[in-house]
Structure 1
């Protein structure tokens, strides 16, 4: 049974972790506290190398890692100055293991769930299609919640990709993301979206729900515990009423 949940801030993002903590505390039977950035609170000497080992060099190659000295130095700088991190994709399970090993031994038990809100993009390998997929969450201990993943992991409306392809045919290169976001109609989350905090609430609750019940996700689309693969579904699940399906409303409403 989870007795306490510790959330960690992501100061380089627009996410209000304290507001998420207040929302979560109203819905679960566990103490909820907030700490500063995980990589500042639980810092170990080998974390830069562990992050380097978890880097995804190609979306279509299963093997990860680049532990050349220059890469490790980059990860050291990114730990010290997270605003300089420039969009690297990391193996979410590898990052989860690295952060678990950085926790004090007395806090690794499953009665205390740690949820770092990350300013890094994380993914998992898909055996079914032989490629990496960005994720919003990686469930377990700690439970990871990626702010970049919220914007980048779910598929955007079809018009977004058609406009991207059209621009590439005309100009020979990919258009800046902000250009596409302004030209394409449709409801989807964008970088620094003011809805970020509200949308991440359900994903943090998913991390708690998994450790508490063993259930990974809800299969009903109109529920904050739903694992949305499209932005339209994410917005329906996280930002529109009802907040939960009837089964999970009994637990968390």
Structure 2
């Protein structure tokens, strides 16, 4: 691996420059940062690609709604990302659409692109016939979903109960501080100040996968571990040690 390019997600609290500095200190490749991928490479055809990648139902493998109004929504979401939300996209379809927009001279596997996205992505589970939200989709480019960090790994059951109760009483989602005080367990929520630190490990996973062919680490306290529940995310990404002994040899400072 010769180079890694990260792309900012300005509508989120994820700091791509801080992630890049952290990664640059741990890998041999040169690391750079560019502005938001969808702003740099967005066009009307990309909007249609997002419309085609929309998940229509949690239990329906087929995706896509390319009615004019939906495509127009996707165009507005590319131009004004703060207006987007509430949609899940097929992560592999999004990855293909973004790959088509990489500069031809930068498509080799020696140059990893990592767009931080403000969209929720998922992959289809053949084992249970439903869509599953994901934090990232590995490959070229490696798609890292910032809202996926909050939504994909499962939170404690009490979290969802408190969320529903608050919605019934006030008509909206409870503030982060309320949930943290009322729900036992560790988890990340939207705009969590720990987002940047957690995202670092997922970006490293993307690098590690393309550089070595290895997906994830089985050690629950390693940055390269990919847990399915929020307490596991906190343990892997926000607690010491950063790496298991094997990966510490490769990525320690």
- Which category of TM-score, normalised to the shorter sequence, fits these structures? over 0.9
Name stretches of at least 5 consecutive residues in structure 1 with no aligned partner: none
Residue 184 (structure 1) shift: 1.9
- Equivalent residue number for residue 223 of structure 2: 224
RMSD: 1.9
> In the TM superposition, what are the counterparts of 1:1-253 in structure 2 within 5 Å?
2-164=1-163, 167=165, 171=168, 176-178=173-175, 181-182=179-180, 183-253=182-252
Residue 171 (structure 1) shift: 4.7
Would you say the 8 A contact 1:44–1:102 is kept in 2?
A: no
Q: Whole-Å Cα distance in 2 between the matches of residues 215 and 174 of structure 1?
A: 45
1:46 alignment partner, SS class: helix
2:124 alignment partner, SS class: strand
Could you list the per-position Cα deviations for residues 17-65 of structure 1 after superposition, in whole angstroms to 9, with x for gaps in the alignment? 1000000000001000000000112234410010000000111111000
Residue 115 (structure 1) shift: 0.1
Would you say the 8 A contact 1:181–1:190 is kept in 2?
A: no
Q: Whole-Å Cα distance in 2 between the matches of residues 214 and 32 of structure 1?
A: 20
Q: Whole-Å Cα distance in 1 between the matches of residues 123 and 174 of structure 2?
A: 23
Would you say the 8 A contact 2:13–2:193 is kept in 1?
A: yes
Residue 181 (structure 1) shift: 2.1
2:100 alignment partner, SS class: helix
Deviates more, 1:155-164 or 1:218-227: 155-164
Residue 188 (structure 1) shift: 0.8
Q: Whole-Å Cα distance in 1 between the matches of residues 62 and 97 of structure 2?
A: 17
Could you list the per-position Cα deviations for residues 175-224 of structure 1 after superposition, in whole angstroms to 9, with x for gaps in the alignment? 62537725323221011100000000000000000000011111111100
Q: Whole-Å Cα distance in 1 between the matches of residues 201 and 132 of structure 2?
A: 20
Q: Whole-Å Cα distance in 1 between the matches of residues 118 and 205 of structure 2?
A: 19
Residue 104 (structure 1) shift: 1.4
Q: Calculate the TM-score normalised by the size of structure 2.
A: 0.94
Would you say the 8 A contact 2:42–2:78 is kept in 1?
A: no
Deviates more, 1:36-45 or 1:228-237: 36-45
Q: Whole-Å Cα distance in 2 between the matches of residues 223 and 87 of structure 1?
A: 31
Name stretches of at least 5 consecutive residues in structure 2 with no aligned partner: none
Would you say the 8 A contact 1:164–1:174 is kept in 2?
A: no
User: How many corresponding residue pairs?
Assistant: 250
